[in-house]
Amino acid sequence: MSERTFFTLRYALPGYTFILMSILVAYPKLEEILFQTENATLVAALAFFSLLSGAALGFLVSQVWYVIYNHFIFGRYGKLVGLSEFLRQKYRLTEDRHRQKVFYDYIHRLSHNKETLNYTQRRYDLMHLCGSTLVTTLIGSFFGLSIRSDLFRTNTSFKEAIESLSSISIAIPEMTMYDLGVILTVTSLLVLLFLSLRHACKEYAMAVDFSVREVVNSRIFPYTKARRVFTDDYFSNEGT
C-alpha cells in the first residue's frame, strides 16, 4: 500500500467510525427528526454527503488518541521499557522519554535489515490505526448519546442539559432491544480494538528492540559518534 493511500485510510477509518457510532447510538432520535421534518430527503442527502469528509473528520478526532499516546503510553509498554534503559546506560542518555524515543528511532533507521524496517513500520501504522479507531469509537458513541438526549439543541439551557444527562440513568431499565444491541456492538468493537492495539504495540516494541540492539551490538553507532550527531541535551552528565 502506498504512503498516500495509507495516509487516507489512517484518517478515513476513524472518521467513518465516528460517523457510524454517532448514527448508530442516536438513530432513534434521528429517525424521529427525519419523520417529523418536511425536508426528509434534504436531511438524508446532507447526511450522505457528510460521509465524504470522513478523512478530515478522522484527522481531527484522531488527535485525541495521539495526545493520549504521546503523554501516557509510548515508551511504557513491552520491550521498549528495557530498551530505553539499555540505551540510557550505553550512551548515557537523559531520562527524558521523548529524547530517548528520537534517539532509538534514529538508531533503528540505521539498520540494514529492510525486512525488519518494513515490518516495524507496518506494526507502527497498525498500532496507531487501532488506537485512533478505538478512541473515536468512544467519542462517536458519546456524541450520539448526546444527540439522543437533546443535549445539543440550540434552545437547551445548561440546567436542562444536566437534567437530560441525569435522565439517561433513570431510563436504563426501560432499554429496548435496539439499545441492548447497540451496547453489545460497541462493547464488542472496543474489546476487539483494544486486543488488536495491545498486540500491535507488543509486536512493534519487540521489532524495534531487536533492530536497535542489532545496530548497537554491531558497533555501527558508537558513543563518540552519537555525541557528534545529537546535541548535549540528549545526554546526562553521569559518568562524565
pLDDT in tens, 150-185: 666 656 666 666 666 565 555 555 678 888 899 999
Nearest 5°: CA angle at 90, between 88 and 93?
30
Confidence class of residue 127 from pLDDT cuts 50, 70 and 90?
Answer: very high
Amino acid in the structure at residue 114: K
Q: Could you tell me if 110 and 183 are in contact, meaning their C-beta atoms sit under 8 angstroms apart? A: no
Distance, CA of 225 to CA of 228 (rounded, Å) = 5
Q: Which helix (H) or strand (E) holds 74?
A: none
Confidence class of residue 145 from pLDDT cuts 50, 70 and 90?
Answer: confident
Q: Could you tell me if 78 and 201 are in contact, meaning their C-beta atoms sit under 8 angstroms apart? A: yes
pLDDT score for 240 = 47
Cα-only R_g, the chain: 24
pLDDT score for 40 = 56
pLDDT score for 172 = 54
pLDDT score for 7 = 52
pLDDT in tens, 10-34: 788 898 898 889 888 888 877 776 6
Q: Could you tell me if 182 and 25 are in contact, meaning their C-beta atoms sit under 8 angstroms apart? A: yes
Alpha helices (runs of H) in the chain, residue ranges in sequence order: 3-36, 40-50, 54-68, 80-91, 97-109, 114-148, 158-170, 177-217, 223-229
Average pLDDT of the chain, as a whole number: 81
pLDDT score for 72 = 85
CA contacts within 13 A on the Cβ side of 201: 18
- Kindly report the pTM of this predicted structure: 0.81
pLDDT score for 192 = 96
The answer to which of 1-5, 12-16, 81-85, 148-152 has the lowest mean pLDDT is: 1-5
Confidence class of residue 3 from pLDDT cuts 50, 70 and 90?
Answer: very low
pLDDT score for 191 = 97
Neighbours of 169 (CB within 10 A): 8
